């Protein structure tokens, strides 16, 4: 589970850099300022939480159910939150807004919050 967490974090971190460059260079030409800010928010949250997953992978055994749930909450939250923003922004720029993605973004945010709560819980229960 540790290796999976670290690999997932590395992939998400790498893609955050790619998406950030994509937004800064290619999408800058087709997105308005608000759309670009939304896209950048998705990239930032993806990168920040990829770093959190790296830290978790290097500091937890990820054997307890609460630790696994924490990791899965962060993983699902990143995918749902950031990727729904990417889809909403790009589809909106093409005048084909994928409205079904709208409710997915806050669900991803909720999973990120749950991940942070579980991180807090797991830190409290760590033995040093």
Domain residue spans of the chain: 2-124
What's the rounded Cα separation, in Å, for the pair 29 and 70?
38
Percent of the chain with pLDDT over 90: 88
Q: pTM for the complete prediction?
A: 0.94
pLDDT at residue 21, rounded to an integer: 95
Average pLDDT over residues 86-109: 93
Average pLDDT over residues 43-52: 98
pLDDT at residue 128, rounded to an integer: 72
Average pLDDT over residues 90-113: 94
Half-sphere exposure of 41 (CA within 13 A, CB side): 14
Average pLDDT over residues 49-67: 97
What's the rounded Cα separation, in Å, for the pair 105 and 40?
14
């Amino acid at each position: 589970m540790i290796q999976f967490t670290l690999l997932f974090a590395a992939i998400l971190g790498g893609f955050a850099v790619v998406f950030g460059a994509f937004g800064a260079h290619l999408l800058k030409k087709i997105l308005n300022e608000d759309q670009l800010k939304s896209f950048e928010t998705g990239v930032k949250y993806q990168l920040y939480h990829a770093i959190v997953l790296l830290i978790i992978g290097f500091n937890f055994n990820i054997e307890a159910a609460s630790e696994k749930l924490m990791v899965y909450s962060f993983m699902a939250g990143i995918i749902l939150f950031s990727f729904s923003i990417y889809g909403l922004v790009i589809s909106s720029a093409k005048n084909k807004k994928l409205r079904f993605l709208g409710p997915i973004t806050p669900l991803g945010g909720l999973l990120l919050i749950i991940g942070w709560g579980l991180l807090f819980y797991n830190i409290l229960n760590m033995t040093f």
